[in-house]
């Protein structure tokens, strides 16, 4: 088989290789600029690091659990107080009648 070498195809291949190389260089530059722009925007947003966020999230969950325990204790104490007040109302007191009447006079 006889192989011919055509200079037009060689030139075309060189031009195409140069274009691909230039395109990849432009791509790298665009990526670098976009990355720098995004980093600047994120820095301006005053975001917290993931570790700090997770620590605060854990603290909030613990506080929520403690608040629920305290709410349950408060409800139990209120129920107990209501029960005690109900007992006090249902039992007549001997001293309450004497407060409304003057003490008996000694004659």
Q: How many residues does the chain have?
A: 107
Domain locations in the chain as residue ranges? 48-89
Tokens of 63: 């506080």
pLDDT tens per residue across span 34-73: 999 998 988 888 888 899 999 999 999 999 999 999 999 9
Residue 99 per-residue DSSP state: H
Read off the tokens for 1. Answer: 């088989």
Tell whether the model's pLDDT for residue 101 goes beyond 70. Answer: no
pLDDT at position 106 over 80 = no
Map 5-47 to HEC letters: CCHHHHHHHHHHHHHHHHHHHHHHHHHHHHHHHHHHHHHHCCC
Neighbours of 53 (CB within 10 A): 11
């Amino acid at each position: 088989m006889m192989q011919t070498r055509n200079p037009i195809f060689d030139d075309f291949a060189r031009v195409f290789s140069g274009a691909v190389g230039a395109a990849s260089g432009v791509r790298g530059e665009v990526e670098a600029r976009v990355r720098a722009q995004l980093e600047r925007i994120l820095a301006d947003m005053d975001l917290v690091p993931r570790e700090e966020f997770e620590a605060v999230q854990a603290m909030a969950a613990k506080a929520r659990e403690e608040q629920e325990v305290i709410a349950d204790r408060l409800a139990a104490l209120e129920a107990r107080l209501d029960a005690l007040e109900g007992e006090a109302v249902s039992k007549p007191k001997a001293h309450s009648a004497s407060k409304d009447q003057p003490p008996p006079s000694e004659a």
